């Protein structure tokens, strides 16, 4: 095979791989939120997918009912859904901290069912279209036969920026240091006069807001429908198992990496693309049970 | 901080007098009452509905074997149930396998899937175990979505019930009911026997204090894996039986919502109780029956029951009754 053939193959593979990386951006955002919440609350937030879906729906409703466009929605939807998350934490999740962690999983699973059911009752199972704003056409990338819509470029930029910003806040700021300390030794941190329960509430709200942000980003790409989160979240769970929830950067890197690998699989052997993440999870469990970035 | 296990609330009485087949006196009475209900109810209620209850009751009991007695909460039991349904259905329809053998094949596929999946999943515990089982089950779902023999979105339809042992024609609901009742009671007794065997005692020791069980020289992994495979095999049998009862095996049986339903049934009845999963299955199947016309409200109500159980009602129906009567049911 000559160099030209190889280049041609690469060019053919590019769109799928880039689509995979964009999927990876969502995996990264969602697993990041899960990791932040789990680190602080020791709760696996099964409602994360439903909250992702709520983010997309709130953006769609803001446009359809109030006429508020994409840019304000990018800020408003995470705030609204985050506020719902804060209420959920205060009313329900906070009652479970002294119990087995599995109850947190069961409770949030119940919440996910309620949210999905309510949206399905209101909007039906079919998808709603959310058109991306026109200004993204300026970002359109065209390299020969290869074309990448501007909006997808934006998704990559926005997701990476938010992931990095979250990492910076947690690892490099004073608030972040409180958060990390409270993750390790909550009682001690509380003894120093820091309001740990409030921090837990806000952490949950922030993790939920991240999911909603991902939802708004996803709205113009995928159709906005009640099951969109459930489809995503199980794959994200596998991503979380692969990365291990020990490190923030770990979940970001794992998310992007798995999206990339999924895209490659789509090129090499398409029927395998939906299961490849789960197979990688099995391999990681065999070789590094704590996950790539996890602590045993 | 979070030491209270999922099931210690239900394990009210620690010292249990071991009677016949491992039943305490209260349990023996409850078992006789349950058997009486199983025998009498087809004369009073619609047999197909009752068969559905019994299939799900066996499924929930199989699930409870793992969560209640080993402390491992699987969120992927739909994989074994659904594959059991598919294999039984395919064997009965495409190969004309007699029903008793087809159902056993469903159990075999459950065990065959449970072996590698359990082997992988028991490498982690707690929440990770749940997530891993869920992810592996999702893999099975995608497999069933694409594999040619499952019939994709249509599923396998018009599965013949066949003739049991070449003698009893199962097309009549009433005859089929007795087979289902037999399978359920046999499965129930088998699980009870397992739980009260020396093997079961080690299982419970692992649930209550894994490091200590390890230090006593038990190979904890082997016990966990054995329990996992048994649970998966029984789930496969339940799925296979369900496929024969309804003549159909579809993607619904392998979807993650089915895994959630069996968790819900056990939770409502009481995790780690002997009779809880049966009661839970009866409650949830009845509810689904009455709410079928309300569409997505079923989802909302199931979610609300989940929330209510976790927040206020962690012992479940049977656990609460046992607690009030101060007996272990």
- Asked if residue B320 is part of any domain, the answer here is no
Residue of B nearest to A104 (CA): B310
Please give the residue range of the domain that contains residue A235: 29-287
Overall average pLDDT of the A144-157 stretch: 82
Residue of A nearest to B130 (CA): A102
Tell me what pLDDT residue B321 has. Answer: 87
d(CA B10, CA B57): 19
Q: Is residue B321 part of a domain?
A: no
pLDDT score of A296:
52
Residue B10: its pLDDT value, please? Answer: 41
In a domain, A119, yes or no: yes
Mean pLDDT across B214-231? 93
Q: Structurally, how many domains does chain B consist of? A: 1
Find the range with the poorest average confidence among A46-50, A81-85, A144-148, B159-163.
A144-148
Does A6 fall in a domain?
no
CB contact under 8 A, A97 and B124: no
Test A102 with B130 for CB contact under 8 angstroms: yes
- Is residue B308, in this structure, part of any structural domain at all? no
Closest CA to B256 of B110, B82, B119: B82
Residue B26 lies in a domain: no
B12 membership: H or E segment, kind and range: none
Contact list in B for residue A112 (CB cut-off 8 A) is 303
Contact A22, A84 (CB under 8 A): no
Residue B271 lies in a domain: no
CA A98 vs CA A59, A122, A191: distances in Å: 36, 36, 18
How far is Cα of residue A273 from the mean position of the Cα atoms in its chain?
A: 19
* pLDDT at residue A273, as a whole number: 84
Tell me whether residue A18 is in a domain.
no
Position B14 scores a pLDDT of: 45
pLDDT on residue B15? 46
In chain B, which residues have their Cβ closer than 8 Å to the Cβ of A108? none
Q: What are the structure tokens assigned to A229, written together? A: 């989160």
- A105 at the B interface (CB within 8 A)? yes
Report strand pairing: B168-169 vs B163-164. Answer: antiparallel
Euclidean distance between the first and the last CA atom of chain A, given in angstroms as a whole number: 45
Instruction: Kindly tell me the burial class for residue B219, based on how many C-beta atoms sit within 10 Å of its own C-beta (0-12, 13-18, 19 or more).
Output: exposed
Task: With cut-offs at 50, 70 and 90, classify the pLDDT of residue B19.
Answer: low
- The per-residue pLDDT for B9 is 40
Would the CB atoms of A100 and B131 count as touching at under 8 Å?
no
Task: For residue B253, name the pLDDT band (cuts at 50, 70, 90).
Answer: very high
- At A137, is the pLDDT very low, low, confident or very high (cuts 50, 70, 90)? confident
Domain assignment present for residue A154? The answer is yes
User: Rounded to whole angstroms, how far apart are CA atoms A259 and B207?
Assistant: 37
Chain A residues whose CB is inside 8 A of the B299 CB are: 113-114, 116-117, 120
Q: Residue A7: count other Cβ atoms within 10 Å of its Cβ.
A: 10
**Mean residue pLDDT across chain B:** 87
The yes-or-no verdict on residue A145 having pLDDT over 80 is no
Give the pLDDT mean for B111-127. 91
User: Measured in whole angstroms, how far is the alpha carbon of residue B321 from the centre of its chain?
Assistant: 21
Answer yes or no: is A241 within a domain: yes
For residue A271, being part of any structural domain is answered with: yes
pLDDT band at B13 (very low <50, low <70, confident <90, very high): very low
Under an 8 A CB cutoff, do B310 and A107 touch?
A: yes
pLDDT of the residue at A139:
75
Q: Burial of A161 by CB count in 10 Å (0-12 exposed, 13-18 middle, 19+ buried)? A: exposed
The answer to whether residue A97 sits within a structural domain is yes
Question: How long is chain A?
Answer: 296
- Asked if residue B3 has pLDDT above 70, the reply is no
> Which residues of chain A make contact with B210, given a CB cutoff of 8 A?
none
Asked if A110 is an interface residue toward chain B (Cβ–Cβ < 8 A), one would say yes
Average pLDDT over residues B40-48: 87
Rounded (to 5) percent helix, strand, coil in chain A: 75, 5, 20
The per-residue pLDDT for A84 is 96
Closest CA–CA distance from residue A280 to any residue of chain B (Å): 11
- Name A123's Cβ contacts closer than 8 Å, sequence gap at least 6: A57, A225, A226
Q: Do A275 and B302 touch (CB under 8 A)?
A: no
Listed residue (B204, B233, B187) closest to B328, CA to CA:
B204
Percent of chain B scoring above 70 in pLDDT: 94
A281 touching B (Cβ < 8 Å): yes
Residue A131 gets which letter from DSSP? Answer: P
- Residue A146 maps to a domain: yes
- Domain assignment of residue B241, given as a range: 47-255
Interface probe for B, chosen from A46, A234, A239, A240 (most Cβ of B below 10 Å), is A234
**Which of B68, B265, B297, B300 should be substituted to probe chain A, the one whose Cβ sees the most A Cβ atoms within 10 Å?**
B300
pLDDT digits (tens, 9 = 90+) for B73-106: 999 999 999 999 999 999 998 898 999 999 999 9
Average pLDDT over residues B299-314: 90
**Number of domain units in chain A:** 1
pLDDT higher than threshold 50 for residue A17: yes
pLDDT at B7 over 70: no
User: Is B146 part of a structural domain of the chain?
Assistant: yes
Task: Return the minimum-mean-pLDDT range out of B20-24, B49-53, B280-284, B315-319.
Answer: B20-24
Nearest CB to B267: which of A99, A106, A286? Answer: A106
Q: Residue A5 — very low, low, confident or very high, per pLDDT cuts 50/70/90?
A: confident
Three-state SS sequence of A23-81:
HHHHHHHHHHHHHHHHHHHCCCCCCHHHHHHHHHHHHHHHHHHHCCCHHHHHHHHHHHH
C-beta separation of B280 from B267 below 8 A: yes
Quote the percentage of chain B above a pLDDT of 90.
49
- The residue assigned the tokens 């030209």 is A4
């Amino acid at each position: 095979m000559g160099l030209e053939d190889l280049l041609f193959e690469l060019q053919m593979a590019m769109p799928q791989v880039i689509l995979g990386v964009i999927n990876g951006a969502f995996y990264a955002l969602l697993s990041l939120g899960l990791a932040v919440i789990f680190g602080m609350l020791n709760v696996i937030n099964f409602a994360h997918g439903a909250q992702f879906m709520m983010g997309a729906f709130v953006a769609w409703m803001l446009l359809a009912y109030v006429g508020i466009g994409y840019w304000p929605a990018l800020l408003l939807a995470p705030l609204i859904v985050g506020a719902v998350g804060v209420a959920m934490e205060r009313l329900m999740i906070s009652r479970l901290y002294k119990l087995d962690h599995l109850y947190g999983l069961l409770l949030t699973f119940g919440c996910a069912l309620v949210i999905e059911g309510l949206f399905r009752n209101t909007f039906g199972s079919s998808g709603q279209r959310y058109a991306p704003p026109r200004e993204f056409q300026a970002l359109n990338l065209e390299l020969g036969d290869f074309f990448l819509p501007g909006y997808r470029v934006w998704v990559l930029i926005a997701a990476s920026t938010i992931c990095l910003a979250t990492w910076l806040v947690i690892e490099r700021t004073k608030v972040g240091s409180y958060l990390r300390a409270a993750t390790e030794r909550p009682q001690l941190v509380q003894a120093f006069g820091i309001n740990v329960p409030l921090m837990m509430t806000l952490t949950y709200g922030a993790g939920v807001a991240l999911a909603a942000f991902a939802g708004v980003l996803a709205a113009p790409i995928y159709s906005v429908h009640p099951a969109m989160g459930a489809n995503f979240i199980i794959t994200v769970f596998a991503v979380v198992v692969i990365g291990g929830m020990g490190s923030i950067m770990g979940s970001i890197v794992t998310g992007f990496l798995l999206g990339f690998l999924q895209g490659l699989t789509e090129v090499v052997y398409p029927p395998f693309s939906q299961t490849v993440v789960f197979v990688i999870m099995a391999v990681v469990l065999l070789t590094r049970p704590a996950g790539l970035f996890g602590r045993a | 901080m979070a030491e209270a296990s999922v099931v210690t609330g239900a394990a009210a009485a620690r010292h249990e007098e071991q009677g016949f087949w491992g039943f305490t006196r209260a349990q023996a009475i409850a078992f006789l009452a349950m058997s009486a209900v199983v025998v009498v109810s087809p004369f009073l209620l619609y047999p197909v509905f009752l068969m559905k209850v019994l299939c799900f009751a066996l499924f929930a009991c199989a699930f409870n074997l793992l969560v209640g007695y080993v402390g491992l909460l699987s969120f992927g039991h739909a994989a074994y149930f659904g594959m059991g349904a598919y294999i039984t259905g395919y064997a009965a329809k495409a190969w004309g396998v007699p029903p008793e053998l087809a159902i056993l094949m469903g159990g075999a596929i459950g065990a065959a899937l449970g072996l590698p999946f359990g082997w992988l999943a028991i490498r982690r515990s707690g929440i990770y175990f749940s997530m891993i089982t869920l992810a592996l089950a999702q893999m099975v779902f995608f497999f069933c979505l694409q594999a040619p023999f499952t019939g994709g979105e249509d599923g396998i339809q018009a599965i013949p019930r066949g003739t049991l042992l070449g003698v009893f024609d199962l097309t009549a609901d009433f005859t089929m009911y007795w087979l289902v009742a037999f399978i359920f009671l046999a499965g129930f007794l088998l699980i009870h026997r397992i739980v009260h065997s020396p093997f079961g005692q080690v299982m419970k020791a692992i649930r209550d204090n894994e490091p200590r069980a390890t230090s006593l020289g038990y190979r904890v992994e082997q016990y966990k894996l054995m329990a996992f495979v048994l649970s998966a095999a029984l789930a496969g049998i339940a799925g296979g039986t369900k496929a024969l009862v309804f003549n159909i095996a579809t993607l619904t049986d392998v979807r993650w919502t089915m895994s959630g339903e069996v968790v819900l049934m056990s939770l409502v009845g009481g995790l780690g109780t002997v009779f809880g999963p049966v009661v839970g299955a009866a409650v949830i199947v009845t509810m689904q029956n009455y709410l079928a016309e309300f569409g997505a409200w079923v989802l909302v109500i199931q979610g609300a029951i989940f929330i209510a159980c976790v927040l206020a009602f962690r012992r479940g129906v049977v656990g609460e009754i046992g607690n009030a009567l101060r007996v272990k049911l």
